[in-house]
Amino acid sequence: MITRKRLARVATGSSLAALLMLNIGVARAAEAIAVPGQQNGTSEGVNAPATREDPAVTRGRYVAIAGDCAACHTDPHQGKPFAGGYALETPFGTLLASNITSDKRTGIGAWTEAQFTRAVREGKGRDGENLYPAMPYNAYVKVSDQDMHDLWAYMQTIPAVDNEVVSNQLPFPFNIRLMMMGWNLLFFDQTPFVPQPGATAQVNRGAYLVQGLGHCAACHTAKNFLGGDKAGAFLQGGDLAGWHAPEITSNAYVGVGGWSPAQIVQYLKTGSNGVAVASGPMAEAVTNSTQHMTDDDLMAIAVYLRNIPGSTATKPQPLAAADSVMKQGANVYSANCSACHNSDGKGISGIASGLANNPALESANPQTLLTTVLQGGRGAVTLSNPTSGAMPSFAWKLSDQQVAAVATYIRNTWGNAAPAVKAEQAAQVRQALQLPGQLAASNASH
């Protein structure tokens, strides 16, 4: 029923400043639970605490990072990890993330391990009430018993924060939790993780992380009108809350089939890989979660993704450079984009995204590209790239037609090929983001 929290959070910001504040605030919360160490591909190196602790707690800290728990349950404005209170804007209304610190009154300090496990994997609260799938229990159901036990051990070490949160802010009738019984019957597959017969241990580890802790389908799988995953569309891209989460299957046109496993690992570890720079919700995921995961786990994810059958999308012929819209787009690009992304579309490594042969730009839905041009954004902040790079908003400078033209040009140049973008699409994104129109005196292109 509810879209993934990252998409909901980022889409609510209407300015670059808001996006930066959010990224930095949650990143600091992530730093409170992740103790960066050696980049050697071992969980001990990435998350080793300063002093010796219970191994279960150490493992549980890593589970929390892989599951990106802090992203939802930390309000970046408060800076108190796991204390809840952050507003999750969904198509059905607002939910506030719950307090999951060890506070006995307002957190989960008085819960039992069985109650905690049931909440995470079954979507049932302490008293048996139905939870909303903004907390992706439909993915966490695949988390193993051992990882759940370790996560519980770690959660017991979280300092108590007295912060009472009334999570359910949804309007009638969505505030009736009993409605989730029907949703669960339709969309909640309670099957635990089952290793693929004949697959390598590496592929199965990747499948476990992607399907379970990583809950990648929450963004990258298309949803129906009730918010459930569409059948037969696993990881083939989803349009949610102002962004398009691209296909991440073996499809070489719009998926990651054209990337090497090493490029996927680099992208998840550093936020860029020479082809693309993570932005928007994915930048947040890299900042708070995947950069702190082991190299072995990231490679397992990469190998698994490249083994997933993709969509049937095939590459069309690019629009001709002589097309009038392409010409206008080329002028807009030259005047506004080439300084950072270069005239050849290769960008600046780690700072400005490469645009050439970039599958994320060729998706049928250009929403992410339009959002980025109009709203601006910032790449992932990581250990290897602590300053990242930022792109300003061009909403004030470009008209809807100019935005559509430059998007069309980018999607059909340097080896890219995709349908043309219409001015009406740019206008819809501008309106949804509540961004200003072009200033009358602006003359950004011919």
**pLDDT value at 446 more than 60:** no
Tell me the DSSP string of 368-402. HHHHHHHH-EEB---SS-SS--EE---TTT--HHH
One domain for residues 359 and 241: no
Arithmetic mean of pLDDT, 164-187: 81
Q: Is residue 315 part of a domain?
A: no
Among 218, 219, 213, 209, which residue's Cα sits nearest to residue 303?
209
Which range has the worst mean pLDDT, 147-156, 233-242, 325-334?
A: 233-242
Arithmetic mean of pLDDT, 67-78: 87
Q: Which two tokens stand for residue 334?
A: 């030259």
Give me the helix-helix angle, 113-122 and 145-155, nearest 10°: 120
Asked if 264 and 256 count as a contact pair (C-beta separation under 8 A), the reply is yes
**pLDDT value at 388 more than 60:** yes
Q: Residue 33's pLDDT is what? A: 60
Q: Residue 9's pLDDT is what? A: 35
**pLDDT value at 212 more than 70:** yes
The domain in which residue 300 lies consists of 5-305
Among 205, 164, 224, which residue's Cα sits nearest to residue 2?
224
Question: Between vectors from CA 175 to CA 70 and to CA 228, what angle results, nearest 5°?
Answer: 65
**pLDDT value at 15 more than 80:** no
One domain for residues 300 and 366: no
Pairing type for strands 377-378 and 238-240 reads: unpaired
Q: Is residue 318 part of a domain?
A: no
One domain for residues 293 and 187: yes
Arithmetic mean of pLDDT, 257-272: 94
- CA–CA dist 393, 16 (Å, integer): 7
One domain for residues 383 and 263: no
For residue 223, give the 3-state DSSP assignment: strand
Q: 183 falls in which pLDDT band (50, 70, 90)?
A: confident
Residue at a domain's end among 305, 334, 361: 305
Residue at a domain's end among 305, 335, 357: 305
One domain for residues 280 and 348: no
One domain for residues 152 and 249: yes
One domain for residues 90 and 27: yes
**pLDDT value at 1 more than 70:** no
Arithmetic mean of pLDDT, 129-143: 92
Q: Residue 272's pLDDT is what? A: 87
Render pLDDT for 362-385 as a digit per residue (tens, 0 to 9): 989 999 999 999 999 888 888 888
Region of residue 30 (phi > 0: left; psi between -120 and 50: alpha; otherwise: beta)? alpha
Q: 13 falls in which pLDDT band (50, 70, 90)?
A: very low
Q: Is residue 316 part of a domain?
A: no
- Residue 31 C-beta-side C-alpha neighbours within 13 Å: 12
**CATH number of the CATH domain containing 375:** 1.10.760.10
Q: Residue 442's pLDDT is what? A: 56
Question: How many helices and strands in the chain, by DSSP H and E?
Answer: 19, 7
Which range has the worst mean pLDDT, 99-103, 244-248, 274-278, 312-316?
A: 274-278
* Mean pLDDT score of the chain: 85
How many structural domains comprise the chain? 2
Q: Residue 352's pLDDT is what? A: 82
**pLDDT value at 42 more than 80:** no
- CA–CA dist 399, 326 (Å, integer): 16
Q: Is residue 317 part of a domain?
A: no
One domain for residues 241 and 162: yes
Q: Is residue 365 part of a domain?
A: yes
Residue at a domain's end among 305, 338, 353: 305
Q: 30 falls in which pLDDT band (50, 70, 90)?
A: low
Q: 408 falls in which pLDDT band (50, 70, 90)?
A: very high
One domain for residues 264 and 376: no
**pLDDT value at 157 more than 90:** yes
Q: Residue 16's pLDDT is what? A: 30
User: 119 vs 115, 123, 124, 129, 259, CA distance in Å?
Assistant: 6, 5, 5, 9, 37
Q: Residue 267's pLDDT is what? A: 94
Asked if 163 and 106 count as a contact pair (C-beta separation under 8 A), the reply is yes
Among 263, 260, 300, which residue's Cα sits nearest to residue 278?
263
Render pLDDT for 189-208 as a digit per residue (tens, 0 to 9): 999 999 999 999 999 999 99
Q: Is residue 313 part of a domain?
A: no
Query: Residue holding tokens 């379970």?
Result: 212
**pLDDT value at 41 more than 60:** no
Query: Residue holding tokens 């910001």?
Result: 13
Q: Which two tokens stand for residue 18?
A: 């808001």
Q: Is residue 361 part of a domain?
A: yes
Query: Residue holding tokens 């095939």?
Result: 314
Q: Which two tokens stand for residue 15?
A: 């300015």
Q: Residue 189's pLDDT is what? A: 93
Q: Is residue 446 part of a domain?
A: no
For residue 321, give the 3-state DSSP assignment: coil
- Residue 130 C-beta-side C-alpha neighbours within 13 Å: 17
Q: Residue 43's pLDDT is what? A: 41
- CA–CA dist 313, 254 (Å, integer): 7
One domain for residues 57 and 120: yes
| Neighbouring C-beta atoms of residue 109, cutoff 10 Å | 16
H helix runs in 243-366, sequence order: 261-270, 280-288, 295-305, 324-336, 338-341
The percentage of residues in the chain with a pLDDT greater than 70, rounded to a whole number, is 87
One domain for residues 282 and 389: no
**pLDDT value at 295 more than 60:** yes
Q: 333 or 273, which is more confident?
A: 333
Q: Residue 6's pLDDT is what? A: 42
One domain for residues 332 and 236: no
Arithmetic mean of pLDDT, 161-186: 82
